[in-house]
Structure 1
């Protein structure tokens, strides 16, 4: 029996709201806040929550397009409050895992343990390594900090937060100490949707990644405003573009037939120093099997371009910077330059701006030197874009972490709209200047 989306969302609201008494909070929070810090060795963006009974810190890699929270349950997961999300339950249907019900194997326990009912399974994915494995749907308590939008609030407890228990091997490739991933994608059990449903927040979040490995960025769940120490109103300077739903999941073959959980935007051309780059614009559209198009990622450290687009961008950028000495490439970058003749500005190295021109008339996402160039040593700067390969089985543009650092992005799931600031350096602030960072 198929359940309408509206009914499933109502059931999720009922399930979470009845179980999520705000154990340590006296008032309804307006926002939920998570600090995000950049790992120097892997360039992954990490966060921490507390989970289980008794509570323990859980370190997670932030995955903007991830479908859910998943964590290693094979080794060291001890909790008296974990519960199975069995087959036929509301939770299993919300996780779109009702077709993946299998008998529990007592010799292969990775979750709450075997019950009399079949187990609700899914395939959590490490999107850094693109490795997936079967995982059991479960729920357990998590705690996270709140805010009223002006000052740090109380710790909020959600006793039955849905997640997937994964095998230890799936964590290979994640930063040291990380045991899972926090998925912020477009599903019914992603972080922003579960928090919004349980706490009656807007299904919206703001993401601001710090370029520093010593200062935190932040993700703020709920509606704005976002509390940066400036005199400007952060909602008035954002530019908006539509978020596009890719109706075909291209991440995992086992999820074939489902829509992608990732965030796509409609880029129609690329300009460098206001000159349009000559490229095959059909690659900028999502084709009928889900490939092509432009998505935003926090697991790719740098923007990845399909080979022909990459070559066209490199050629155009080098031509605009022809008065600067080009030096041997430094992997993974293809265009590197001597930094001796490149002066520094408020928004980074003084190089040609790169513009992503959106499908909406007059909407442009401008990237300055701080987001386009990477300093690989004191004498060399490289264009921070990498070659993603041929177009057959990839997205044509994947906007990576370096390109969105110190940019405020807002993802409005209900309105399917992205707000973006371009570089906050232009406004003499950074993502690490956000005033509310969690110490939950």
Structure 2
């Protein structure tokens, strides 16, 4: 049975309004910056942040640790009995925003007052389940133009998922914070709620990092030297993916271009192959045919620098002795890796700090892994390769800005100083 006409008109009208409840004072938030500290969990190698949300009978906000998922579609958590979140109905604008693919025959078979269910996935274990879309208060620490700190509370959308989905997450984590291209991802909701640009900044490290939202320019807290060093490359888009892909054209090792099948590097219409960025994959993973060429080229370049092979340490496929390897400001002096993007002039250079993993005092291994033949993406750049690089995701222009390694300037994402950095964040 087709949806009643008044429901269709209802959807047509509400689609014109923001998906997050607004308040009259929001125009004053145009220049705020929302800061979320990020820490790296030592054993799982996952990146964690802490949010605060309304709790039943607690008289305040409950702290909740979440795993940061760069490509995840939205925030989900195990709400248990603690959340005061209001269930979102199937017939609401919020459900339509979260499930834009709802079709007419769904409307006829569903009660519009039923709860809105979303497929919710632990993208680390690739286990999924239905979750309830809810709206609840999250508190966000913000800064205004003069650097003063305030706490801003707002209604945000997220899903309450079964406890079983927590398997595989870092100890103590209660869900995942999705930053992907989706109408109810945190960047999208913040942009809508606070009338800010659709953008965010991510700076990871082996210990403490930061995630920032809002309109304030990077130079206001990272300094002009860092913000002006950013190089921009297009973010590729597909209709079926909310992850972040870059336009990788070729790979160089020690300035020598690898002979790779360029079709494997290109993102196709189905969102397959291509090169994407991830915070839930610890080390870069390559499709087997790419890895085989990469492996041989790197081994050859390493041997030319008199590096000594040693037995491999799982999960790595290429390990070397650390003895006699000179240490530089950007890590061990090993063959540099260049990711050549939209032109030969635009490249992302990976030095020893981000290419090598120190597995013991005497052994270091190449932090690039063979992912097999059935990868959905040909290359996934993992967290280790993203650390100590300032990343600016400008979703409005679909561009990614990336800095050279901050270590070149003897800085790190772990020691960036923010006078207004709050002790608590979301």
Q: Which runs of 5+ in 1 are unaligned?
A: 105-114, 248-258
The whole-number CA distance in structure 1 between the counterparts of 2:107 and 2:128 is 17
The residue number in structure 1 matching 2:188 is: 193
Match of 1:382 among 359, 365, 377: 365
SS in structure 1 of the partner of residue 390 of structure 2 = strand
The whole-number CA distance in structure 2 between the counterparts of 1:153 and 1:388 is 44
The residue number in structure 2 matching 1:367 is: 350
The residue number in structure 1 matching 2:164 is: 169
Deviations 1:16-47 (A, max 9, x none): 214x867xx98655211100000001000000
Q: Which runs of 5+ in 2 are unaligned?
A: none
Question: Quick check: 2:119–2:130 contact (8 Å CA) kept in 1?
Answer: yes
- Going from structure 1 to structure 2, the CA distance change for 1:103 and 1:63 (only over 3 Å counts) comes to farther
The residue number in structure 2 matching 1:217 is: 209
The residue number in structure 2 matching 1:289 is: 270
Deviations 1:246-292 (A, max 9, x none): 33xxxxxxxxxxx2110000101000011001222210012343210
Match of 1:426 among 401, 408, 415: 408
Q: CA deviation at 1:388?
A: 0.8
Q: CA deviation at 1:223?
A: 3.4
Question: Quick check: 1:128–1:299 contact (8 Å CA) kept in 2?
Answer: yes
Q: CA deviation at 1:324?
A: 1.0
Q: CA deviation at 1:11?
A: 1.6
Q: CA deviation at 1:302?
A: 0.5
The whole-number CA distance in structure 1 between the counterparts of 2:35 and 2:184 is 18
The whole-number CA distance in structure 2 between the counterparts of 1:92 and 1:354 is 44
The residue number in structure 1 matching 2:65 is: 59
The whole-number CA distance in structure 1 between the counterparts of 2:210 and 2:107 is 37
The whole-number CA distance in structure 1 between the counterparts of 2:293 and 2:310 is 19
Q: Does 1:234 align with 2:236?
A: no
- Going from structure 1 to structure 2, the CA distance change for 1:29 and 1:156 (only over 3 Å counts) comes to farther
Count, aligned residues? 406
Q: Output the aligned Cα RMSD.
A: 2.6
Matches within 5 A, 1:101-112: none
- Going from structure 1 to structure 2, the CA distance change for 1:149 and 1:299 (only over 3 Å counts) comes to farther
The whole-number CA distance in structure 2 between the counterparts of 1:51 and 1:29 is 24
Deviations 1:105-155 (A, max 9, x none): xxxxxxxxxx99222111111111111100011100000111236635211
The residue number in structure 1 matching 2:377 is: 395
- Going from structure 1 to structure 2, the CA distance change for 1:355 and 1:318 (only over 3 Å counts) comes to same
SS in structure 2 of the partner of residue 316 of structure 1 = helix
Q: Does 1:135 align with 2:131?
A: yes
Q: CA deviation at 1:211?
A: 1.8
The whole-number CA distance in structure 2 between the counterparts of 1:350 and 1:193 is 41
Matches within 5 A, 1:13-32: 15-18=20-23, 29-32=31-34
The residue number in structure 1 matching 2:338 is: 355
Q: CA deviation at 1:235?
A: 2.7
